[in-house]
Amino acid sequence: MPGFAQDVCDLVEALELRDPLLVGHSLGAAAVLEAVGRLGCPAAGLVLVDPFVFDYGHLEEREVRRLLVPFRRDLPKALRLMVGNLMGPSVAPQVAEEVALEMARTPPAVALPALESLLRWDPERPLQRLGMPCIAVATDSGDSRALRRHAGRMRITWMRGTGHFPMIECPGPLTRHIRRALAAFPAAVSGRDAGRDGSRNLRR
């Protein structure tokens, strides 16, 4: 996870972005949260799309090892099963298969450490250190324990009847959710007209 978070920071620096609004899905949500909350990457706010499929930070070691077994044994097969379980019922099987095939193109030497890092990830510390608004777009795939645990540190908006891939299952409603999130972070999208550091005006 630290490597993904550093990639986010490096990209923000390379593009010379000033307090951008960072949006991440699943592992990408963990990456942007780590980038801001642990590495201090500048941001006006965060939008986390279905960030908690598991209750990260509270998985026992034996559970982590159990979850990793099928991926180490047969990565493409395990990805197909995972995607099928996380997709909503409205998605055609061939679409789920295409998503799984795309994910399986990642070399095991990259995919397996990334998955293990995510399963061992603890969002508590970066959430505690956030100094800007954070919105989580939760789906039916989200872990209810994790969402309840972190509800005090983020605003949660629900997309009911949707699986873990809302950008595929229902891109229109997801776009509306993100646009509502954008409206909560005006300094990130409409410039700084309230002082040198507009992000300060967004702090809770």
Q: What pLDDT, in 10s, does the model give residues 70-124?
A: 999 999 889 888 888 888 877 888 888 888 888 888 899 999 999 999 999 999 8
Decide: 38 and 125 in contact? Cβ < 8 Å.
Answer: yes
**Is it the case that residue 199 has pLDDT exceeding 50?**
no
**Which tens digits make up the pLDDT trace of 149-158?**
888 888 888 8
Nearest to 107 by CA among 87, 136, 132, 79: 79
**Is it the case that residue 195 has pLDDT exceeding 50?**
no
Classify each residue of 58-91 as buried b or exposed e, where b means 16 or more C-beta atoms within 10 Å of its C-beta. ebeeeeeeebeeebeeebeebbbebbeebbbeeb
**What pLDDT does residue 187 have?**
54
**Is it the case that residue 28 has pLDDT exceeding 90?**
yes
**Three-class SS of residue 35?**
helix
**What pLDDT does residue 185 have?**
66
**What pLDDT does residue 179 have?**
84
